[in-house]
Amino acid sequence: MSRYLLDKFLYTVDRDPALVERYREDPAGTVAAWEAEYAPRLLNCVTHEATTWLAFDDTERAALAAHDYPRLFELGAHPFLTLTLFIAMFERDHAEPLGFQREYAERLAHMTLPYPDIST
């Protein structure tokens, strides 16, 4: 398991409007393509610098493919990164202001202190 890679996925997808839409429409395909293309990249480095050891495990891949942000939180993904990405994808589906944020809070209401470790 790699909290770093989960956070890297959430961070990089959220900053690319085309990836946000792709992830909304085809989550499993986007996760697979991102893992192959983006996961090896070292952020803020020259393009030829890459790593070969990072990969999602099956649990992480399934949570990302299912848009299961409560499970991502349980796995240690940073809650700010999940919230901002999922707002970008799903706020438009709610008629009321802050509708998605309320749904997010309700779906995470079962979590109690201490929260999962989100350090990377």
Indicate whether 50 pLDDT > 60: no
Q: How far apart are CA 69 and CA 79, in angstroms?
A: 9
Q: Which of 8, 25, 6 is nearest to 89 (CA)?
A: 25
Q: Give the tens place of pLDDT for each residue, 9-41.
A: 999 999 999 999 999 999 999 999 999 888 877
Q: Per residue in 60-79, pLDDT tens?
A: 999 999 999 999 999 999 99
Stated pTM of the model: 0.88
